[in-house]
Structure 1
Amino acid sequence: MPRPLVALGTSDPSAVLRGLEAALAGGPALLPVAEGAPALPTPPPADVPRRVALVVETSGSTGTGKRVALSSEALLAGAAAADAALGGPGHWLLALPTHYIAGLNVLTRSITAGTTPVLVPPGHFDPALFADAADRLVTDRSAPNRYTSLVPVQLARVLDDERATAALSGFDAVLVGGQATPEALRERARSAGVRIVTTYGASETSGGCVYDGVPLGPVHATVDDGELLLAGPVLAEGYLGDAERTTEAFTEADGQRWYRTGDSGAIVDGRVRVTGRLDDVVISGGEKVPLGAVERIVRGLPGQDGAVVTRRRSGEWGEVPVVVTERPLDLDTVREAVGTVLGRAARPAEVVVVDRLPMLASGKPDRRAVHALADPTT
């Protein structure tokens, strides 16, 4: 028997919290929607299968939109595994949009802990407002820990603010995910006494399910032909109204259901290492160049932890890497750093300096918009 799907705007995170609480208790399924964001080509259905409690729309930074259908069991399994990994339930500070799975996970974990999250006002992230919210976060004996979840650009902005940094150092764990966290940024956080936990996952895995490279308790990881696969009770039901895409992304093997992440990587000594997107490769002068690997090197340079590497068409080479950044960067310096590690073909052709990088509401770079800046003829 289906249940109704209720779309709810996310400008009021408290209303989303109430809607999610009702959905987890067996009420109408919830579809959080960001007001003002472009709608997906097809409207959502009025009803969803009974097992579906939450639908998360993902436009992504490079791909086409889809609606990820998650069950209560998957969401609660993720919350329980996270609590076990972090050291028990706690009080959460919400600094992320609630139409993204990372923000929704803050709400889910608050619900399971029986606590009410403290909210950073929605909109442009302001370290001062983050510090104000942290001052309002009070724990108790039943949930003694202090947690929050950030994306790397938010972490960098907090670390640029002395008061916000002091507030962040008072948390028992700061989850950082949504994209790769540069080592230089991680070292800045550790030096400031901030206890960060890097996370890896997707809406299709109920959010982050690999902490500091280690899969959470019930989660399993493997590699198939260079692609990372994840399994466990946290997996989504599939994509709403898209059986073909569901079949492509979720596969059965060895008696388990696996999610094909589309990421390349390896598992070394039990730890997951993500090396980039399988489809994020350019052919430059006949050689394959993984843009994710180039970007990691660029972000390791001083002041470049937010830089983005994209592609540009080239009449001579086919395609070439291009760096887009908010901070000036000497082209010869970056070409030498990248070429030393990855070879001549991987050296960026240009550094494009912009006033502000285009960002998605999730805090991730808007890679389609960044690509347009680097290659305006596309």
Structure 2
Amino acid sequence: MNELDSLVASAQALFAQSTTPADLENAKAQFLGKSGRITEMMKGMAALSVEEKKSTGAAINVAKQAIEAALTARRQALADAELETQLKAEALDVTLPGRARMAGGLHPVTITLERVEAIFGSMGFEVAQGPEIETDWFNFTALNTPEDHPARSMHDTFYVEGGSAEAPNLLRTHTSPMQVRHAVQHVKRYQARLDAGQGMPEIRVIAPGRTYRVDSDATHSPMFHQCEGLWIGENVSFKDLKVVITDFCRTYFESDDLVLRFRPSFFPFTEPSAEIDIQFQSGALAGRWLEVGGSGQVHPNVVRNMGLDPERFIGFAFGMGMDRFTMLRYGVNDLRLFFDGDIRFLSQFQ
């Protein structure tokens, strides 16, 4: 075996001993690098004759090609081994069942809203939706709320850009503006019958939705949900209000022995007015009176703003907090849990 054959054999043996790409590159440098043995042999050809250069150069090229072929083969072998190791580490058992995604569901307050709509729907109430950015007129003036009322303060209400100084825009503080909005549309629909002295279908509607006030603690949120209700006709009394609210509350809480009381109060848009209190007869809240809403006969000024004659048309309105109803139904004691987005909490209601 001549010197070149021995050199090729040494390179092949050293490449075979290399277990990492870095080791292989170090081994390559000993033979094919700037100071490698093949490179040194090529430099030594300068002292040879023309004939010797031809034969020696050809032999060196053959050896160089053999070393490069061994280097390429070892590189491929290391790459294959690394891939094999990776595949084993990331192996998938295709016989195992797939990872199922958790099914989504409705938010607890949304569940409450749908339940409320279904109960009132069974009593003949329509569902109305209105804008959350409301005008001062619909939110306050049309509801008999005077300009010096505390609710119009910047500290209590979110005012937004748009409108004018005389008629500013705001985030609605309640869904009560839908009383007038829906009634005005209803009256326009039957205006010809009214002008002719004929009657019109009763206005029986609820307006669930988001509302906004500057308030935040364990039982209040700057954004909360409310459901407004309105029943206007020619012979609608406070007795009808008591019957409707009592039936609704007992149905919602699935408790026939639920006790209600209507406590005298004041609201600008109703007269007389009453707070709605409930008392459970069993469970953790047994014996306690809890305020869940406000109600009353619609004020004559509000009836006028609907485009109706208060001497002929009468009715009642009520408003209830849907977040509080959700808290009572599910035993939640902190309103903020509904808005934190904690999947551990929300998944309990699915």
Q: TM tier, shorter chain?
A: under 0.3
**Which of 1 and 2 has greater Rg?**
2
Q: TM-score scaled to structure 1, two decimals?
A: 0.23
TM-score under structure 2 length normalisation = 0.25
Greater helix proportion: 2
Q: Flag the structure with more relative contact order, 1 or 2, with Cα contacts below 8 A and sequence separation at least 6.
A: 2
Of Structure 1 and Structure 2, the greater strand share is in: 1
